[in-house]
């Protein structure tokens, strides 16, 4: 889940990291009031879940409360990259001496959080890392052991920062690392982290992203501290009927797990795929061999027949879907016969012939022989682990292309 800047600021603030005296509002009048309370020049920032705010005119500098209200009115009506703002953030214009960058990101290769710090803040960290690699400090932290301030200090010191700047920035990065772990973030970024002319450090902007699977155990933060409604999924697009239906089917039964996405897919080959990275590999394998997937999906964790059937039915009901490919990497706990029953039942319930509709069935693993008996009975083409994911995807693509050429 992605957070708006004003929410990210609250998270940062609650972790004990200094922030400016900002205010979030949804009307020009409220913006005027906040600007009056701040009592000086302000920055009015659009609250949207997309980048490029400055370029689009979503960030403006106001010298007076009247100007703040006027800019707030303009920004509240301004659509940026298809997103309308949920409000504006009114921030004092800070007297900045130097801008720094501080973040903690999930390193999926090392499977640990990674602290990053740079003394060149305010710009993209990727650009700094490429053009000035010696200005980026890095250091992993443990997933379990407490985060020590010395770990943050090492990362900052690697960029050449010393003295009082090092001492003031250290607890900020350490607190950011702790909140990253405690709040199940996959990104916790402060950019810029500003050193003001009086020598103090404040977070001028923050970006937070939480692991979607952690939402259940972060209810205190999401529902109570930030007041985010349960139905506010922060999806970057409106979910399709297919996506909503698959989600409902999954939620209705605790056994196994299914997911389905079709945003951006308009093909004729439905995919019922999964297992240990199998979905991504198989989607690529279909596409790279000229196939046109109608959807993306994930199925695993030994779902019930009803759940496998439900997913396959939703895929088959999509406009333009001619056949489905049922493919997984080698499965351990997911039963092959149960998935076979599910997908065949989906075909039958929709009045389709499983032998014609299922282009290929490749799920090697638990109860494979039993699954093969079912597939044999209904005349569905299947293959075992001696056929690679790539080749299985290729067979499905060839079959649907043959059909189109006939």
Cα gap 22→181, rounded to integer Å: 25
Beta bridge partners of 271: 325
Per-residue contact track with another protein, 185 to 214, x per CB under 8 A? ------------------------------
CB under 8 A: which stretch of 40-48, 224-232, 340-348, 392-400 binds another protein? 340-348
β-strand 112-118 against 96-107: which pairing, if any? antiparallel
Closest to another protein by CB, 112 vs 373, is 373
β-strand 323-328 against 358-362: which pairing, if any? parallel
- Closest contact distance (angstroms) between CB of 397 and another protein is 25
* Chain residues 105-134 in contact with another protein, contact rule CB under 8 A: none
Per-residue contact track with another protein, 344 to 383, x per CB under 8 A? xx--xxxx------------------x--xx-xxx-----
Closest to another protein by CB, 61 vs 377, is 377
CB under 8 A: which stretch of 126-134, 160-168, 332-340, 355-363 binds another protein? 332-340
Cα gap 91→357, rounded to integer Å: 58
- Closest contact distance (angstroms) between CB of 245 and another protein is 12
- Closest contact distance (angstroms) between CB of 366 and another protein is 11
47 within 8 A of 8, measured Cβ to Cβ: no
- Closest contact distance (angstroms) between CB of 374 and another protein is 5
Closest to another protein by CB, 74 vs 370, is 370
Which residues of 275-342 form beta strands (DSSP E)? 296-300, 323-328
- Closest contact distance (angstroms) between CB of 341 and another protein is 5
Segment holding 16, helix H or strand E: none
Q: Residues 6 or more apart from 137 whose CB is under 8 A from it?
A: 115, 116, 117, 118, 154, 155, 156, 157, 158, 159
- Closest contact distance (angstroms) between CB of 352 and another protein is 8
Rounded to 5 degrees, what angle do the CA atoms 234, 236, 241 make?
90
Nearest to 311 by CA among 353, 368, 355, 256: 256
Closest to another protein by CB, 54 vs 350, is 350
Cα gap 270→316, rounded to integer Å: 7
- Closest contact distance (angstroms) between CB of 322 and another protein is 14
Closest to another protein by CB, 21 vs 373, is 373
- Residue choice 17, 161, 188, 305 for contact with another protein (CB under 8 A): 305
Closest to another protein by CB, 191 vs 334, is 334
Cα gap 394→73, rounded to integer Å: 55
- Closest contact distance (angstroms) between CB of 401 and another protein is 24
CB under 8 A: which stretch of 38-46, 114-122, 260-268, 330-338 binds another protein? 330-338
Q: Is 322 in the site for another protein (CB under 8 A)?
A: no
Closest to another protein by CB, 36 vs 370, is 370
327 within 8 A of 389, measured Cβ to Cβ: yes
Cα gap 384→390, rounded to integer Å: 13
Which residues of 296-372 form beta strands (DSSP E)? 296-300, 323-328, 358-362
List phi, psi (to 5°) of 305. Answer: -60, -40
Cα gap 93→88, rounded to integer Å: 15
Helix axes 241-251, 305-317, angle to 10 degrees: 170
Q: Is 257 in the site for another protein (CB under 8 A)?
A: no
- Closest contact distance (angstroms) between CB of 177 and another protein is 44
Q: Is 306 in the site for another protein (CB under 8 A)?
A: yes
What is the spatial order of strands in the sheet that 269-274 belongs to? Answer: 269-274, 323-328, 358-362
Helix, strand or coil for residue 221? helix
- Residue choice 335, 362, 395, 399 for contact with another protein (CB under 8 A): 335
Which positions touch another protein (CB under 8 A)? Answer: 304-306, 313, 317, 335, 337-338, 341, 344-345, 348-351, 370, 373-374, 376-378
């Amino acid at each position: 889940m992605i957070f708006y800047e004003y929410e990210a600021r609250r998270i940062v603030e609650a972790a004990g990291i200094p922030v400016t005296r900002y205010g979030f509002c949804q009307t020009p009048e409220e913006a005027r009031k906040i600007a009056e309370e701040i009592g000086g020049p302000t920055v009015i920032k659009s609250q949207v879940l997309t980048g490029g705010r400055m370029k689009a005119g979503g960030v403006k500098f106001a010298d007076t409360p009247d100007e703040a209200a006027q800019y707030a009115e303009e920004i509240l009506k301004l659509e940026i990259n298809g997103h309308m703002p949920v409000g504006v953030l009114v921030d004092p214009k800070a007297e900045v001496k130097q801008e720094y960058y501080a973040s903690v990101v999930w390193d999926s290769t090392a499977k640990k959080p990674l602290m990053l710090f740079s003394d060149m803040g305010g710009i993209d960290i990727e650009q700094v890392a490429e053009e000035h690699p010696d200005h980026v400090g890095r250091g992993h932290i443990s997933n379990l052991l407490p985060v020590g301030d010395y770990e943050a200090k090492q990362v900052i010191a690697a960029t050449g920062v010393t003295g009082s700047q090092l001492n003031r920035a250290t607890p900020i990065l350490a607190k950011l690392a702790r909140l990253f772990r405690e709040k199940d973030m996959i990104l916790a970024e402060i950019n810029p982290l500003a050193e003001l002319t009086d020598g103090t450090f404040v977070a001028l902007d923050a970006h937070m992203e939480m692991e979607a699977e952690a939402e259940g155990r972060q209810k205190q933060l999401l529902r109570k501290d930030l007041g985010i409604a349960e139905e506010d999924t922060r999806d970057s697009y409106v979910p399709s009927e297919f996506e909503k239906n698959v989600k409902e089917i999954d939620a209705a039964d605790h056994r196994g797990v299914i997911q389905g996405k079709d945003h951006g897919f308009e093909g004729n080959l439905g995919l019922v795929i999964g297992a240990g990275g199998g979905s991504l590999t198989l989607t690529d394998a279909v596409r790279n061999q000229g196939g046109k997937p109608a959807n993306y999906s994930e199925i695993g964790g030994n779902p019930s027949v009803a759940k496998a059937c439900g997913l396959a039915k939703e895929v088959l009901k999509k406009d333009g879907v001619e056949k489905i490919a049922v493919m997984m990497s080698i499965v351990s706990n997911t039963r092959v016969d149960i998935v076979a029953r599910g997908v065949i039942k989906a075909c039958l319930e929709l009045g389709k012939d499983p032998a014609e509709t299922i282009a290929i069935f490749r799920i090697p693993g638990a109860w494979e022989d039993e699954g093969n008996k079912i597939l044999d009975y209904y005349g569905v083409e299947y293959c075992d682990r001696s056929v690679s994911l790539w080749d299985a995807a290729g067979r499905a693509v060839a079959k649907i292309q043959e059909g189109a050429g006939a």
